[in-house]
Structure 1
Amino acid sequence: MGEIRMRIGVIMGGISTEREVSFQSGAEVMKYMNRDKYEQVVPIMIDEKKDVIERVKGIDFAFLALHGAFGEDGTIQGALETLGIPYSGCGVLSSAICMNKALTKSIVKQCGLVTPEWVTYRSLEEINYDEMRKLGYPVFIKPNHGGSSVATFFVQKEEEVKEAVHEVLKYDSEAIIEQYVEGDEITSFVLNGEVFPTLRIKANKGEFFNYESKYNVEGAKEEVAEFEPILQEKIVKASKTMWRELYCKCYVRFDMIISGGVPYVLEANTLPGLTSASLIPKSAKAKGMEYPELLDKIIEYSLQ
């Protein structure tokens, strides 16, 4: 196949707490993008929201290597649609829904899927300890709109709750407190509606799959999970249900916990990490798809 006359801009950086991770994803995309296939591939660094309008001029396609607020929440997607520039990944609605963990959990629960119980608080005054006790301890306390396990706390007793919520509210307008479910942490990568091999995750650093585990080499052990057929079918079915009901497009990563033979849905990632240590390139490779082909497919399916 010859060169496609298309100028691709790899957008990275942004304004969220995941800015540094975004630069890592962007650098990896730039490194592995097939230069023989596209007319030009250029890096586009975003430092402020207003940068977008000026810096995307002249590109034919925006490959989003952004994460978190402004990158993953539908905001930049809306701006690019206004400018008539196609972009990689999910659309405005799906991005906005999936960025909100509590809203995502509400939708998947209504679809008959299982998710750990949760509550949300927007201020320290809202904390209801009776409500918390119903969840039981330990709990996870984290930003409702964040990612990459930034400001995520594993809280084991009531006395630690207020300080954890206080820290989370420095990063986000809302804290989500989620019931702890013990089990195997897995991730399910879906590309264009097709469910790829499931990966099982075990942190080598820290007590859960935190920021350090995700982005340090050998921070976690990630391997293709070989579950018995009935359980694997439940994972595939849950992934396809979420893909449809959350209006996903092109690619997405669903995180779950397997406990007692049941997949508990944790969250959906509409712009998951694309670093060498990231999960979706590993899942793609397990299916025989190398990184450059994965990037090509993301562009192809985004343009459909």
Structure 2
Amino acid sequence: MKKIKLALLSGGISSEREVSLNSGDQVFDALDKDRYQITRYDPKTDLPQLVLDAAHIDAALIILHGPFGEDGTVQGLLDLLDIPYQGAGILGSAVAMNKLIAKRLYDGAGVPTPAYLSFSINHEIKIQEVINTLDLPLVVKPACAGSSVGMTIVKAQHDLEAAIALGFEHDDTLVIEKYIKGTEGELSVLETNTIPGMTATSLFPQSAQVGGYSFSALLDKLIQLAIEENKKLNLRRAK
């Protein structure tokens, strides 16, 4: 059987680079080497080579975290190169990465989310007004960061200023929202071809395992879906 030529993208230039490299290692180990001819690309150094190799690549796995990985930028490059990839496209990736835009869309659709305020880095934040509006505890998070980078759960008023400063180290826009205590969960629908964290212990692979997919089988399915969706897209373009 002819091997699928697979580009595995991990690393990148965000603050989540090391997390991405570790995820890439685990994905590489789980992939069936009899089925795939795998070439690894680190967007920090290897994008020119990826462009040169594009015509010979059958599919890509994006195992990148944070800006310039999850936010539609790499997805746009792969679209231009006509390389199938797993996960959401440019718009879906960009919207999902921006917590403020996502919350506004939820609001517009009538989907409830925790009460929140947003601030830009040049906006004066009055601590007492934030407390009066939202009450404690609060969650302070950069608008565009993943893996809980720059996020703080604030339980006391005297900790809020430091949490705001930390958030602004990672983005020019902050979302401060009411903390809702609960258990983290995930709904995974393979047919939508979406993908969050990708290590053997991430919620997505674990929930897929409950549905009968091993980590290796899950990767196979995501690659298959990416190739099938790309074929459908090219057929629509040809009409």
Q: TM-score range, shorter-chain basis?
A: 0.7 to 0.9
3-state SS of paired residue (2:94):
helix
Alignment of 1:1-304 (within 5 A): 3-38=1-36, 40-47=37-44, 51-58=46-53, 59-123=57-121, 125-129=123-127, 130-193=129-192, 250-252=193-195, 272-303=196-227, 304=229
CA deviations over 1:262-294 (Å, ceiling 9, x no partner): xxxxxxxxxx22112211111011111111110
3-state SS of paired residue (1:151):
coil
What is the TM-score with the length of structure 1 in the denominator?
Answer: 0.69
Unpaired stretches in structure 1, ≥5 consecutive residues: 194-249, 253-271
Q: Let me know the Cα RMSD of the aligned residues.
A: 1.7
CA deviations over 1:189-242 (Å, ceiling 9, x no partner): 22114xxxxxxxxxxxxxxxxxxxxxxxxxxxxxxxxxxxxxxxxxxxxxxxxx
3-state SS of paired residue (1:57):
helix
| Contact residue 62 and residue 85 of structure 2 kept, 8 A | yes
Which has the larger displacement, 11-20 or 100-109?
100-109
**1:94 corresponds to which letter in structure 2?**
G
3-state SS of paired residue (1:164):
helix
Q: 1:125 to 1:107 in 2, by over 3 A?
A: closer
| Contact residue 121 and residue 176 of structure 1 kept, 8 A | yes
Mapped partners of 2:205, 2:48: distance in 1: 30
| Contact residue 20 and residue 63 of structure 2 kept, 8 A | yes
Which has the larger displacement, 116-125 or 288-297?
116-125
Matched positions, count: 224
**1:164 corresponds to which letter in structure 2?**
A
| Contact residue 117 and residue 135 of structure 1 kept, 8 A | yes
Deviation at 1:54, TM superposition (A): 2.4
| Contact residue 60 and residue 223 of structure 2 kept, 8 A | no
Runs of 4+, deviation exceeding 4 Å: none
Deviation at 1:52, TM superposition (A): 1.4
3-state SS of paired residue (1:10):
strand
Mapped partners of 1:4, 1:67: distance in 2: 31
| Contact residue 122 and residue 175 of structure 1 kept, 8 A | yes
3-state SS of paired residue (2:95):
helix
What is the TM-score with the length of structure 2 in the denominator?
Answer: 0.87
Structure that is richer in helix per residue: 2
Structure that is richer in strand per residue: 1
Mapped partners of 2:30, 2:62: distance in 1: 15
